[in-house]
Amino acid sequence: MDLLQEAKKRFVTELKARQGERDLDLKSEVVVTRPLNLKEAIGDPKRNDFPLQRGKEHLMQASFKGALGQAYSSDSNDFHGSLEDVLALPLLSIFERAVLVASMNAVLRYLNLIDGTVHCKDAGPKECSLLLDNYLQEQRVECLGLVGLQPAILEAMVKSLGPEGVIVSDLAEAGGERCGVRILDGMNSERIFEECQLVFITGSTLVNGTIDGLTEDAQKHGTRVVFYGSTISGAAFLLGLERWCPCST
């Protein structure tokens, strides 16, 4: 299943059902998206190893009638158009997918259907790591997986199970090592679902198009998946996906 297309379909259904609410008009309402700079995106997290800081990703922000939604993307640009324009995007590029995802997050936030659409900043990533440490202690698993390197989350996983109990994959950091864990190629992540009972997957997989293969691997091996991050806030609501992102706002 193309999960982004399915999320878009359900988003349209929500819009049609609520067009009479809060002056919602697909043709006249304007969505503006732009890439945020580092200070706007994550402030000062007191560390410099996040993908944003290393130029591996960009954080796109959509604004809809004052409500904000964000999406991580490896491509960025500005977009200005109506909701109808957003829904007409062919979704052939990562940028177009990021515009749709960020816009869905902003609109669903405006409709009070979701929250947590804005990435945590400053001390947020550290707090997230501490909360995850407590969360993981309750899960009682022998092996944890992480798809999409987020250093604060990886540290919490290694603290919980040790480097031997964690498997990580990433598109940009393949072949490297963090916290004593060798990073696998993100395009070949099936081993994670074979060996791990619980796998955390970055919501940016919805934007880069890898989410479908990953969820198929998870279903094949009966592996529980938890998506993390603000990017997938809207799609998680629309598709009923499990999401963990306690420090987003």
- Cα dihedral 177, 178, 181, 182, rounded to 10, equals -20
DSSP assignments along 175-223, one per residue: T-EETTEEEEETT--HHHHHH-SEEEEETTHHHHT-HHHHHHHHHHHT-
Query: Could you tell me which residues are beta bridge partners of residue 170?
Result: 185
Closest C-alpha among 244, 234, 49 to residue 150: 49
Instruction: Output the 3-class SS for 30-98.
Output: EEEEEECCHHHHHCCCCCCCCCCCCCCCEEEEEEECCEEEEEEECCCCCEEEEHHHHHHCCCCCHHHHH
Nearest to 149 by CA among 182, 116, 190: 182
Q: Is 135 helix (H, G, I), strand (E, B) or coil?
A: helix
CA 143 – CA 139 distance, rounded (Å): 11
| pLDDT at residue 173 in the model | 85
pLDDT grade, residue 221 (50/70/90)? very high
pLDDT of residue 163: 96
pLDDT tens sequence across 104-153: 999 999 999 999 999 998 888 889 888 988 898 888 899 999 999 988 89
In this predicted structure, what is the pLDDT of residue 148?
93
Residue 7 in this model has a pLDDT that exceeds 90: yes
Question: What contacts 124, CB < 8 A, 6 or more positions away?
Answer: 42, 43, 45, 247, 248
Nearest to 178 by CA among 187, 169, 186: 169
| Helix, strand, or coil (residue 225) | strand
List residues bridging with 227 in a β-sheet: 201, 243
| Rounded CA separation 197/173 (Å) | 23
Indicate the domain borders of the chain. 3-110, 124-244
Calculate the alpha carbon distances from 128 to 154, 173, 228 in Å. Answer: 11, 22, 11
What CA–CA distance (Å, rounded) separates 3 from 48? 32
- Class for the domain spanning 124-244: alpha beta
Confidence of residue 188 (pLDDT cuts 50, 70, 90): confident
pLDDT, position 169: 95
